[in-house]
Structure 1
C-alpha cells in the first residue's frame, strides 16, 4: 500500500508526516523529546582532524551523502516535582545562515499542548545559538513566565564575554552569528539567569553537571527516578562519536578536552546501561551505548507506542 493511499495529500502538511515528539517516563519523571528541525551542515564538521578518506568511508558505510547532510536538532521537556523544565531551546531564528528547517520549537510545543507560560525552568547545556535561539524569537519572551529561571554554568556565561574560536573549525558566518546570539541572550535574560559552578539540582532527580570541552561551560543533564536513568548529553556526543570518539567536531572550542569528555561519558553510559539523548543524534535520539572494540556502539531503542 502506498503512503498516498492512506494520507489525504490535499490536506496533510509535509511537517505533519514526520514525527516531531517522543514521550517516555524515567520513574516518576515525565520526559518529552522534541525536534526543533534539522541543520544542513558540511560533513567535514563531523571530524575536521580526521583523514578525509576515513571520513568519506564512514559516511559511505552510514549511507550518508559525502558533502553535507541534515543534523537533527533535539530539545527535551521534563516534568518533575511540580516543575516543568525545558532543556535547551533550539535555533529559533535563522541569522542569515540558510537554516530554514530548524527553529520549529515554538510551534511543536504548541502542537504538543505545552503553553510557554507553564515552563518554570530552562536548562542550557551551553550557549551556542542552536541551544538558546528559541528564546530569542520575537514574541516568545512575552509569553514566558516572569518568574522563569534559566540555569547555565557560570563558566559558560564568562566564556561568551570574549569567546575564543581559535581551535574551532566552523563554516563562514557561524562565529559571528554565535557571538551575536550569545550576547543578545545574556542582555535579554540576564536577570533570570541562575548560575552554577559544577552541578545543580533543578528538580527532584534532575541534576545538571558541567563537563566543559565543547565549550567551557558545556553541561549534561542527568535524570534518575525509581531505578531508571537518562542522560541528555547536549553536544558532548555526535553520531560519529561512537565509532570515532577522537574525531573533532568543528563546533568544539576545546576539541582535545571535548574528546576526553566524550570518552568518559560514553564509557560510563556503557557501564550503567542508562538511556542517552543528545542534541544532534537522529530524532528521537534515544538509545544506549555499548563498548565495541576500541570504540563504542549506538543501540537505538525500539519505539514504545
Structure 2
C-alpha cells in the first residue's frame, strides 16, 4: 500500500469531518412563522404587552444580512404598549452545550435617535423557558443610531460538564414613549468545538505528506510524539477554552489623554445678559466654578408623540432653543450673537 496516499486520504477525511466544528444549529429565518414547530420559543414578557411580537423582517426598514430581503427575524417598539417596557425573548431550540462552543449571529439596531438594546443569554437547564431563573447573561448590544448589520460571536465557558440547554435573545426597551425603534437578527448558528485528537491527526498527516520522500518508521514515531505534544498544548484549559502554542495576548495600554485645546473666557452679565471680557474678579469666579463638580439636575423628558405610521415627534421647550455664541475679535474684545428669546424660532 502507498503510505503517502494513505496519509493523504487520512488528512482529507479528518479535516473534512471534525477539524472545523460542525454547526449544531443553523437558521436563516426564511419563514419566521415556522420557527415554533422547529423548537424555537417566542416569549413576550413586555409590560403591558403591545400589538407585535417577533415577526418576519420588513425590507422597507432594511433588507436581510444574507438571502432574500425579508429573510430575518424582527421586533419593534410595539412589542409593548405606548409608555410600557419591552422584554421580548427569542429562545433557540435545545442543543448540547460544552465550553468553547460558539454562538454566531448577525444583528442590526435601527436606532434613529431612539435607543434599541438586545441582550444575549444562555441556559444549561435543558428545555427550560424560565428566563427569570435559568438563563445567564452573556452580552448586550445597544445603539440609538443605525448600526448596519454586524456579525457577532459569543463563546460558552464556565460549564463543569456538557449540558443541554438553549440560547436566548432579548429585545429590551425601558420606556417606549422615549425609546425603542426596530431591530433585526439574521444568520444564527451554534458551532461545535473541534476535537483535540482530530487536530493532532491533521497535524500528523500534514507533516508526513511534507516529508513523503523520507518516511521511515523512526520518523513517524517522532512525528507522532510531536503531534501528541501539540495536542497537549492545544487541549482545553480548566474552563474548556482552546489555547495554542506560540500565541501571546498583549493588553494594549489606554491611549494618552489629548492635551487641552486653547480657548478664551467670557463673562455673562447677570443684568444685561451680554457676554463681555471678564475682569480679574469675574475671571476668578469663572475659574472656581469650572473646577466645581456641578450636580446632575433631573429634568422632565420632552413630550413624545408617535404617529400610527411609525413617525415620532418631540415637543421641545426653551431649554432646547436657547444658546449664545461668543467671538473674540483681533483687538481682544468679545462680541455675542443674539440668542433666541422664548417663543422665537431659529
How does the TM-score come out when normalised to structure 2?
A: 0.22
How does the TM-score come out when normalised to structure 1?
A: 0.24
Which is richer in helix?
A: 1
Q: Which has the larger radius of gyration?
A: 2
